[in-house]
Structure 1
Amino acid sequence: MDKKQCVYAKKCGGCDYQGIDYKEQLAKKQAYMKKLLKPVCHVEPIIGMKDPFHYRHKVHAAFDCTKRGQIVAGVYKKNSHEVVDVESCMIEDEECDRIIRDIKDMLRSFKIKTYDEDTGYGLLRHVLIRKGYATGQIMVVLVLSSPILPSKNNFVKAIRKKHPDISTIVLNVNQKKTSMVLGDRNITLYGKGFIEDKLCGCTFRISPNSFYQVNPRQTELLYEKAVHEAHLTGNECVIDAYCGTGTIGIIASKNAKEVIGIELNRDAIRDAVTNAKRNNVKNISFYNEDAGKFMVEMAEKKESADVVIMDPPRTGSTEEFLSSVVKLSPKRVVYVSCGPESLLSDLKYLVRHGYKVKRCTPYDCFPYTAHIENCVLLERTN
């Protein structure tokens, strides 16, 4: 049974499937994927959640002040930069929501002004909270327009008094006029400046700027499926392309001979190296390079890989990258996708160039929204 209708549904616009029974949501997503991928493959039944509420373990609130002087914190109204004041959200972790509410209530007594996008005045822009699903560790990131937080020690003490479970508090400096939430500079105010979480038996470090899936319960099932579809026996060389902080590659390393993780983001690679050491994984190496170029060079040197696991952004992969997969010619490609339309386009390319789609399994990692993750297995036909 679904809970009652969200009170912010008409204002917020964050949940496309608000007011629709969860079983019906899954049926809609299943039908969409079947119709979309009909030209290339069969689609397995979608893997949904037993409890589709409060699954988001990364919660972001934009802060603003109304013309009447009321401080608001929440999400941007669809297609605008007007902040909808959200007290509690049906899909966000409840403890994270409580911390944001309390920070909002503390601002006046600490004389902290919210940032005004139009004038560039004010201090607090956003609050980002990440919570480890398995560990319960909590990171609070205060995104400010300046590196100076007045009465910072007292502010930190006040938040921790209300929420003693907070593991670390970080001040992130974003001085640019940009829609990007986080800036590049992080100053640790309390704790280690990062938290850890466990996924598929491995421990991962999460820094303020790290990419880490927002729904760990479903991510664990998705990643287990990806490694299962790779059919690893312990003798394979595996490439983890778009590897981020190394999550899938480190999980796969238990069953592979060698894993090569490739990622353009330097900060992510730094975290990936730390994560490998933290899990005592010796058979994985990371490269801060363009994955497509790296694989072309491997093919030119007559080097090979048995499996390529790829987890590109929502916009999908590039033709350069896909052609490099074809040149390297692994036996299997496991494609983890968060963008169904770009997935179809990429699968069509690989099918035209000697691969067959064996199976696609959708995962509902974002209940109440239209987003769908998929795990697809492709095998070389020749």
Structure 2
Amino acid sequence: MKNVQRLSTLARPLAAAMAMAGLAALGLAGCDTATANTAAAAPAAPPITAATVIVRQVTETQEFSGRLEAVERVDIRARVGGFITSVNFKPGSVVKKGDVLFEIDSRPFQAEASRAEAAANSAAARAGLAKLELDRSERLLADKAIAQREYDEKASSVKELDANVRAAQASLQAARLNLAYTRVTSPIGGRVSKAEVTTGNLVDGAVILTSVVSNNPIYATFDGDEATYLRVGRDAQRGAPVTVKVGLANESGFPHEGKLEFVDNRLDTSTGSVRMRATFDNADNTLVPGLFARVQLGGTEGGKATAVLISERAVGTDQNRKFVYVIGDGNKAEYRPVVLGPVIDGLRVVRDGVKAGEKIVVNGLQRVQPGAPVNAQLVAMDSGQPKGDMKVAAASGREKE
């Protein structure tokens, strides 16, 4: 019995030691499990594509909204009153300078021209007779057969009749002009509108019969901002050629090229803009006055500048700010606000925020977090095609396979 009690007493510390060892083992196992779970929960660096910021010599352009305008526009009116006898054009057709558009009843004007012609002939006959009598009076005066007073009267009568002849000829000329004005012609070449007055109506100079607008060349008018004026205004006023391109609403790009023709002499302080106008060739009549036009204003010939360029895909929007992600040390994404310029050849000009040689994220912006590592594949900035398996290096900034 004593031996049994002694064994029981020795077993208790041993059991306690084994229990403690078991708890320690369980604790170590729990730590290993937590560590494994933590490692499994750590997110992998998201795969993205990046490109190197490039620098090029470019001719900077700016885009504006504008309207096409005719170089010449004429409201056609009658110069004499009368009844319309014929309309000689098809609405919307192209007419040449001098084409007869309307005819007015010419009979009253023909009669007036005939009367004026007869009056002019009568005045000329009287003047001719007076000159013959004056020549006769000169011979008689030399022979002292008439008095000086009688000779002076005949000389004065000749001058008066000559004046009457000139007045009669002026009346005849006016009558012939009015007769010609019964044929209403187009003063310019271009496209005619519809006839506002039809045959049989009585018209006068207050009535607009139709209108004609020229179609070649044509203007594109737009409002440039202050920066544009400072960039090209002085060159344009000196006559230096400034390229302007336009595109219509149903066209892509800017297929029509012209020259800046006019820059206003002041900036409108209420709008901060300046009126500008470019001239375009329109031999195919594609451009029509009144149409909306997208205007791209370039610079003077040879006026190239160095610009930092990035892809449009690399630009994100944060409320009212634009930003890019620059890949910095340790392949970590750095949030960088940028100031953007115009688009040139598919790339966006960056005025401030990034430098040449820096690498920025161009695809996968939605998977990037500021300060988080990324798994970047390098592509060309202007093509978007991967350059093999090249990766963005870490802190050294070198490229590796």
Normalising by structure 2, report the TM-score: 0.21
Choose between structure 1 and 2 for higher RCO, CA contacts under 8 A separated by at least 6 residues: 2
Tell me the TM-score normalized by structure 1. Answer: 0.22
State the structure with more CA Rg.
2
Give 1 or 2: higher strand fraction: 2
